[in-house]
Structure 1
Amino acid sequence: MKLVVVSAGLSSPSSTRLLADRLAAATLRHVDAQAEVIEVRDLATEIAEHFVTGFPPVRLAAALDAVAAADGLVAVTPVFAASYSGLFKSFFDLIDKDALTGRPVLLGATGGTARHSLVTEHALRPLFSYLRALVLPTAVYAASQDWGEEGLAQRIARAGAELARFMAPPGRDVIPDVDTATAIAPRSLTGAITSVHPADGFEVVPFAQRLAALQAE
């Protein structure tokens, strides 16, 4: 299997590339795949040339073919003017309209402030839904203050496990590690939720027991 990672960071080193690498690593912990990273900034000139001439240069053609052949895709962009970068959008404008149909895609974005955290929902998700990709439920946004925080690591682990699950060949289950399994396991609730504990999750009390306790007060 092949995992393709598209990073649209503009600097080097780049927080966008860092997030892309961590999402890829989280995915590869659960599925056996070869990863290929596409740095969109290295293709900026070729992208512009393709728009003008209608023909992709060799490196760009190889990158577009890699995306089309991927079993899973990680796509990460920096945020500019409350949306994805123009370079990121230009790259995906060149993807064949049917290339990502049914393909699992994990979305990520980076920005300087948490105020842009919904960019994955109001900008990225509609773009890949238009391309008929299978956009995963968990998208990861990382603001400057998120780096080093436990919450970001947990979101990355959850997202990677989701992508691995959708990349797995039919009939082969993906078995996440214990921490990830706890994070993504669906809960079946059959009573009244009386408390939430970070380690244990929901404490469920049968309704009849809770009602009897209230009547006794």
Structure 2
Amino acid sequence: MNEKVIAVVTAGLTTPSSSRLLADQLAEAVRDELSGRGIGSRIELIEVRDHAHDLTNNLLTGFPSASLREVLETVTGADALIVVSPTFSASYSGLFKMFFDVLDDQALAGKPVLLAATGGTERHSLVLEFALRPLFAYLKALPVPTGVYAASTDWGPNAAGLRPRITQAAGELVAALHHETPTATDPFNNPTPFEDLLNS
């Protein structure tokens, strides 16, 4: 069985964090999509906070430690990436940016990436388009069309509303792995019957 390696980079600062929770759900959805195609997968989870000191030293000295080098090689050697950052000042976190600053600017060239972010309010959802997408375009990666933003209101009783975005983005990442054009889901293909709308 052809196994795909998916590196998941999450930059949450707390344990547990909403960024890690979103990362786990995205990884599970990608694994399910691959499994549905008869393809195995290996998920390599990277918590950036665990490498904060090594990242700082790398920026100061220009050389990664042995453990950080191993992590960076995991990212550059993966078939695809899932990246999740908490939102700070309407952008990705400094820790998240620091991780990608120490990568060679060609290291992610041509690599499919699923972009995701978390935040306290829906007002910051454009962080995906105005911060993360330009960063990965600069790194010559291939972000999939659908990014996933999860606000505080997307958890708990409202978690079901997040699921379609996760499924859509996961499908696009797997399609990108196979150089396919993802099929857009038309919400009007299966409209809710008018009688059901009247009764709701």
Same fold (TM over 0.5): yes
| 1:76 maps to which of 79, 84, 87 | 84
Distance 1:81 1:39 in 2: 21
Query: 2:28 is matched with which residue?
Result: 25
Matched, 1:160 2:163: no
Paired with 1:119 and 1:145, the residues of 2 have a C-alpha distance of 17
Whole-Å separation in 2 of the counterparts to 1:116 and 1:185: 24
Once residues 60 and 168 of structure 2 are traced to their aligned partners in structure 1, the CA distance between those partners, rounded to angstroms, is 41
Q: Which amino acid aligns with 1:10?
A: L
Name the CA shift for 1:143/1:186 in 2 (closer, same or farther; >3 Å).
closer
> For 1:164-175, what aligned pairs fall within 5 Å after superposition?
164-168=174-178
Shift of 1:186: 5.5
User: SS in structure 2 opposite 1:11?
Assistant: coil
Query: Structure 1 length as normaliser, TM-score?
Result: 0.79
**1:104 aligned to 2:94?**
no
2:131 aligns with one of 123, 128, 148: 123
1:192 alignment counterpart: none
For residues 170-211 of structure 1, give each alpha carbon's deviation from its aligned partner in whole angstroms, at most 9, with x where no partner exists.
7xx8xxxxxxx9xx5455xxxxxxxx76x71499xxxxxxxx
Q: Which runs of 5+ in 1 are unaligned?
A: 174-180, 188-195, 204-217
Hey, what does 1:151 align to over in structure 2?
161
Taking structure 1 as reference, are residues 25 and 46 closer, same or farther at Cα in structure 2, changes over 3 Å only? same
| Structure 1 residue 163: Cα displacement | 0.8
Measured against aligned partners, the alpha-carbon deviations of 1:83-104 in whole angstroms (never above 9, x if no partner) come to 0000000000111111111100
Number of residue equivalences: 183
How much is the aligned-residue C-alpha RMSD, in angstroms?
A: 2.2
Structure 1 match to 2:60: 52
Counterparts of 1:11 and 1:134, CA distance in 2: 29
Counterpart residue number, 1:210: none
- TM-score, normalised relative to structure 2: 0.85
Q: Aligned residue for 1:66? A: 74
**Percent identity between the two aligned chains:** 52
Please list, as runs of the form range in 1=range in 2, the aligned pairs for 1:1-12 lying within 5 A after superposition: 1-12=4-15
Q: Is the 8 A contact 1:28 1:164 kept in 2?
A: no
Distance 2:119 2:185 in 1: 30
Long gaps (5+) in structure 2? 35-39, 194-200
Query: Greater CA radius of gyration, 1 or 2?
Result: 1
